[in-house]
Amino acid sequence: MITSVSVGLLALLSLSIPVGIVLFLLGFGIDTFFSPFPLIKGLGNLVWSTSNNATLIAIPFFVLLGEILVRSGIATRTYAALDRWVSWLPGGLVHANVATATMFSATSGSSVATAATVATVAMPQAEKLGYDPKLFSGAIAAGGTLGILIPPSINLIVYGFLTQTSIPRLFLAGLVPGLALALGFMVITAIICTIRPSLGGVRRVFPFPEMLRALGQLLPIFLLFTIIIGTIYKGWATPTEAAAVGVAGAIAIAAAFGGVSIKMFGEAILGTVKITSMIMLVVIGASFLNFTLASAGLGRELQDFLGSLGLSPLMTILVVVCIYIVLGFFIETLSLMVVTIPIIVPLVVEQGFDPIWFGILMIVLIEMALITPPVGLNLYVVQGARKSGRMSEVMLGAIPYALAMLAMAGLLIAFPQIALFLPDALQQ
């Protein structure tokens, strides 16, 4: 069954049938060939119970929050402010790219939105100040991927929903690896630019009072992050409710900076409905596939399969990592995550691994998929925003950061506490 599903999955995906529909088709296939009783009778109920779900409404809320921030011009101010703080480092403005992406990750749940936001503001600066385009654009593509690791993260909500794990715990677990990865990106940038200064650009030192003034521009984003995460851990609100608070906060910030108009609001709403529907079609499809796989006895088959392979838990994880790296070249984030969860997560949990920890490891690997060609969405997003130069420049520039992600994945495997320490400490 595992083999048939995997082969069917790749065959149907390569026909360019929409990912959500492919998941339904696989579910129908399992029902026809592997299930002792007709599962299709449960289809209507499953679609209803999957979408009638208060947890998932966090998805449109976080998407809307991001859309409002992106369209309100707040990104430009944040970027300028962070430029004051980090451009003295070797690599100059490249650090501002990473830092801005990190800050936006902390309020937006999406990676492409983060990369698109930073790319739009940063690219004109690169040309003006004569930066080497490779490292500069690679840093934006890589920094943008942090959006799905640093909470709030739409991908972690989807993971938590499909694997029945706690979303607040997942959020906490993503925080430290996310910040560590951001720091890693900056360290790598500094090292590369110290060895080869031509890859960076002018280092600029700003007078301290100017730096202090810039801090004020960062305040709204800090505040928004604190409100969202704070209300969750104070127990005032569930992640879903915190998302509603975030939407209100984003509207308030946009209004304070004069970025609210009917047109902007309409665009934000339309973008939200489109993205939410796209996500929900794959989530409902994955949910149906999950249900058929479980009903047809995936658990037992997995045990037999693992027993026959005789792999140690560590070997299993390494094989899984390789699978993600290879698939990541061809399939983009959410689809990659959703199509693999029904098969891979039970397999990993069967081996005794913590599903929260594995969620974070999976997100790091999926982030890498975002910046590895030929299908790396963030590469295209950044290329789209810079409008000149070759695609290969962005790809080359992203390589050091992809290596940093690989190192992070290795660290997570060696020291699971990097992810689990914070949720364990805060939630006994």
Partner 1 sequence: MAHSMLNTLRKLNHWVAILVGILLLLCAAFVLADIVLRQVGASFGGTDEISGYVMAIATSWGMGFALLELGHVRIDLLRSRVGARGRALFDLLSMLVLSVTITLIAVRCWPVLERSLTNSSRANTPLETPLALVQAPWMAGWIWFAAMAWLTFIAALMLVAQKDYAASEAAIGTFGEEEAAL
In angstroms, what is the minimal distance from the CB of 84 to partner 1? 29
Rule CB under 8 A: choose which of 232, 286, 331, 419 binds partner 1: 331
Stretch that binds partner 1, among 50-58, 87-95, 299-307, 401-409 (CB under 8 A): 50-58
Rule CB under 8 A: choose which of 2, 6, 25, 80 binds partner 1: 25
Is residue 234 within 8 Å of 25, Cβ to Cβ? no
Interacting positions 267-296 with partner 1 (CB under 8 A)? 269-270, 272-282, 284
**Residue 60 within binding range of partner 1, rule CB under 8 A:** yes
Stretch that binds partner 1, among 86-94, 111-119, 171-179, 343-351 (CB under 8 A): 111-119
Supply angle C-alpha 227, 416, 362, rounded to 5.
70
CB-nearer residue toward partner 1: 143 or 416: 143
Count of C-beta atoms within a 10 Å radius of residue 341: 20
Rule CB under 8 A: choose which of 1, 5, 20, 364 binds partner 1: 20
| CA torsion angle 312 318 324 327 (round to 10) | -90
In angstroms, what is the minimal distance from the CB of 48 to partner 1? 5
In angstroms, what is the minimal distance from the CB of 331 to partner 1? 6
Backbone angles phi, psi at 154, to 5 degrees: -65, -40
The rounded distance, in Å, linking the Cα atoms of 369 and 119 is 19
**Residue 409 within binding range of partner 1, rule CB under 8 A:** no
* Largest CA-CA distance found in the chain, in angstroms, rounded: 73
The rounded distance, in Å, linking the Cα atoms of 327 and 418 is 25
Count of C-beta atoms within a 10 Å radius of residue 128: 9
The rounded distance, in Å, linking the Cα atoms of 152 and 238 is 12
In angstroms, what is the minimal distance from the CB of 14 to partner 1? 5
**Residue 82 within binding range of partner 1, rule CB under 8 A:** no
The rounded distance, in Å, linking the Cα atoms of 169 and 220 is 25
Count of C-beta atoms within a 10 Å radius of residue 396: 15
Rule CB under 8 A: choose which of 102, 110, 290, 316 binds partner 1: 110
Interacting positions 220-259 with partner 1 (CB under 8 A)? 231, 236-238, 240-241, 243-245, 247-248
In angstroms, what is the minimal distance from the CB of 336 to partner 1? 10
The rounded distance, in Å, linking the Cα atoms of 360 and 159 is 10
Is residue 127 within 8 Å of 387, Cβ to Cβ? no
In angstroms, what is the minimal distance from the CB of 164 to partner 1? 17
Tokens of 423: 């949720």
In angstroms, what is the minimal distance from the CB of 422 to partner 1? 24
Rule CB under 8 A: choose which of 4, 7, 14, 312 binds partner 1: 14
Stretch that binds partner 1, among 83-91, 95-103, 333-341, 416-424 (CB under 8 A): 333-341
Interacting positions 130-189 with partner 1 (CB under 8 A)? 148, 154-155
| CA torsion angle 83 101 260 269 (round to 10) | 170
Interacting positions 353-392 with partner 1 (CB under 8 A)? 374-375, 377, 380-381, 384-385
Is residue 68 within 8 Å of 254, Cβ to Cβ? yes
In angstroms, what is the minimal distance from the CB of 179 to partner 1? 21
61 closest CA partner among 224, 232, 248, 220: 248
Count of C-beta atoms within a 10 Å radius of residue 159: 26
In angstroms, what is the minimal distance from the CB of 38 to partner 1? 12
CB-nearer residue toward partner 1: 275 or 320: 275
